[in-house]
Amino acid sequence: MNTLDQIIQKQVDYIMDSFDFRAASEALRSVEECWINALDVEDREFELRQNARERMADAIKSAKEDPDGMGFCCTGCLEATCTINTQEKWARVNLKCWVEQSLNDGENYA
């Protein structure tokens, strides 16, 4: 049976191998506010990969510090989450690339 760290690393490796960073980089060209658009075209995929790995590491660290919550890290264009269920001995790492999303700040109500 694998340890928590082994399961998490396996999932990160799978994401890094299977996530279509090239397509994500191209899609993000349409998001004017995304940080990736300040980079040269030839550097975008590499930097997106690096940023994804860092976001996942931050989410994993956060989840390990509070296993009852969800580790979350977002740059605005990339979102990484990590969920650890210590009772079930289960973990999940996810990476999302946001091309479009609403940016509601929320509102007070009576």
Confidence check: pLDDT of 68 > 80 = no
Q: Is the pLDDT of residue 37 over 60?
A: yes
State pTM to two decimals: 0.84
Average pLDDT over residues 57-72: 87
Q: Which band of pLDDT confidence, cut at 50, 70 and 90, is reported for residue 71?
A: confident
Alpha carbons 94 and 16: distance in angstroms, whole number: 11
Find all residues with CB under 8 Å of 39, minimum gap 6, and list them.
47
Summarize the confidence of residues 48-70 as an average pLDDT.
90
Helix (H, G, I), strand (E, B) or coil at 96: strand
pLDDT at position 102:
55
How far is residue 30's CA from residue 101's CA, in Å, rounded to a whole number?
13
* Least reliable range by pLDDT among 11-20, 45-54, 71-80: 71-80
Residues 12 and 5: their CA atoms lie apart, in Å, by 10
Q: Report the sign of the C-alpha dihedral through residues 32, 37, 41, 46, in that order.
A: negative
